[in-house]
A and B are shown apart, each in its own frame.
Chain A
């Protein structure tokens, strides 16, 4: 039977895919409106583009799970009322930014180190400094994106809550148990 247990994995899966696909669609839409979409896509190879998409999807799934864990740990009814999910989406967005930055940084490091060989070790302190500063910036930017997603979540909760209230016809609304 499809009960709350069956919904736990689906919640993280649907939220992560929603965030990934809506972010990508909004990015394409913005580039299209600015007239820079052909130039941007021209720089991407099909296989590299797919790999980047999948990597972003996985990173978002992990970050979403972190956000859901945080909500449960702090006993926040993240889906109980509009707006209560915003702190968790900010944290999830921040981690998502760090994951994406880490993937980009590793790609750059690998491209730099491969032709250099052992001599690349001399650049380790520079990379470490860059990694710290870059991670902080990425967390902040991701957190801002997470805040926007928190507002979207609030809108979604408003819609589903209204529908659920009509369906439950006066039955007291339960607080969902979130994924552990």
Chain B
């Protein structure tokens, strides 16, 4: 196997691994937020969320870098915007932008809750569960699009 395919394999592996961490982390954080087991521990739930956010933004950077690299390595397989493949890529990239805006709002919300003297713990957990649930769903949708693009679904 030549260097080109070794590089492409490594890039795709890192891209998929980053997506797995993003989705798994969002699902876990959302589930912990929704769980009754941590109902009396708002700070604990918030701590898990903050830890996830640190990993999320690192993995997002890695994911976008490897995603662009993956597109570059496709060469002739990179089709134009007037094809179904191109339309699918357009939807995927747009979904990524929506995810990024939602994620920045998530961090800002966490910052506000951390700085506040008093918040309603039940509502905070509901909000966090909703935010991380939507994040996980969006990520699963982006993964669907990415796999379709990589395996000729479109």
B57 and chain A: residue at smallest CB distance: A17
**Interchain CA distance A115-B100 in the complex, whole Å:** 44
Chain B positions 81-133 with a Cβ under 8 Å from a chain A Cβ: 81, 86, 89-90, 93-94, 96-97, 100-120, 123-124, 127, 131
Chain B positions 63-93 with a Cβ under 8 Å from a chain A Cβ: 64-65, 68-69, 71-73, 75-76, 78, 80-81, 86, 89-90, 93
**Interchain CA distance A79-B115 in the complex, whole Å:** 12
CB of A49 within 8 A of CB of B116, answer: no
CB of A21 within 8 A of CB of B100, answer: yes
Residues of A in contact (CB 8 Å), total: 55
Least CB distance from B109 to A in Å reads 4
Given contacts A24-B64, A167-B119, contact A156 B96 (CB under 8 A): no
Kindly identify which residue among B68, B102, B113 contacts A49, using a CB–CB cutoff of 8 Å.
Answer: B68
Q: Does A25 contact B (CB under 8 A)?
A: yes
Q: Does A44 contact B (CB under 8 A)?
A: yes
A8 and chain B: residue at smallest CB distance: B111
What B residues does A37 contact at CB under 8 A? 71, 78
What A residues does B75 contact at CB under 8 A? 38, 42
Interface of B is mostly: helix
Number of A-B contacts (CB under 8 A): 166
Given contacts A1-B47, A17-B61, contact A174 B68 (CB under 8 A): no
Kindly identify which residue among A14, A46, A153, A156 contacts B72, using a CB–CB cutoff of 8 Å.
Answer: A46
Q: Does A125 contact B (CB under 8 A)?
A: no
Given contacts A17-B60, A38-B78, A174-B115, contact A28 B93 (CB under 8 A): yes
Interface band, chain B: 35 or more
CB of B68 within 8 A of CB of A171, answer: no
CB of A49 within 8 A of CB of B69, answer: yes
Which chain A residues have a beta carbon within 8 Å of chain B's beta carbons?
1-4, 6-7, 10-11, 13-15, 17-18, 20-22, 24-26, 28-29, 32-33, 35, 37-38, 41-42, 44, 46, 49-50, 53-54, 57, 79, 152-153, 155-157, 159-161, 163-164, 166-169, 171, 173-174, 176-177
Q: List 24 A-B contacts (CB under 8 A).
A: A1-B43, A2-B47, A2-B50, A4-B115, A7-B110, A13-B57, A17-B61, A18-B57, A22-B97, A28-B68, A28-B71, A28-B93, A38-B78, A41-B71, A42-B75, A46-B72, A46-B73, A49-B68, A49-B72, A50-B69, A53-B68, A163-B109, A168-B116, A171-B119
Which chain B residues have a beta carbon within 8 Å of chain A's beta carbons?
7, 11, 43, 46-47, 49-50, 53-54, 57-58, 60-61, 64-65, 68-69, 71-73, 75-76, 78, 80-81, 86, 89-90, 93-94, 96-97, 100-120, 123-124, 127, 131
